[in-house]
Amino acid sequence: MEIKKGVPNNTITRDVAKLAAPTGNIYESIVIMAKRANQISAELKQELENKLSEFSKSADTLEETFENREQIEISRHYEKLPKPTLLSINEFEEGKIYSRKVV
């Protein structure tokens, strides 16, 4: 998954009216952003599991797990990424999320 560099890594104050504008309802906007955040979280989790599965062995000991520097670096990289909620809010504000109402 490609992470945009301009996404803040912390929480910032947002204008609720701007978030509600695309849907006309703040609650609908929040549901759309929450669903997208869940998608992003699942994608990141799958990506991390795929990278870490390269290091797993059936006979790993506890000491070998803690000494693996590459595995630690990969984990640290994912910890430093912006949270999925911040990514979904950014995508919503930029109009990159497509949603439709099922009637």
- What are the angstrom distances between the C-alpha of 14 and each of 2, 54, 66, 77? 24, 40, 40, 27
- Spatial distance between the Cα atoms of 68 and 63, rounded to a whole number of angstroms: 9
What is the model's pTM? 0.79
Give tens-digit pLDDT for 59-80: 456 555 556 778 888 888 888 8
CA dihedral 68, 74, 80, 84 (to 10 degrees): -130
CA distances from 85 to 34, 52, 71 (A): 7, 23, 25
Residues 15-74 pLDDT 10s: 999 999 999 999 999 999 999 999 999 999 999 888 888 776 654 565 555 567 788 888
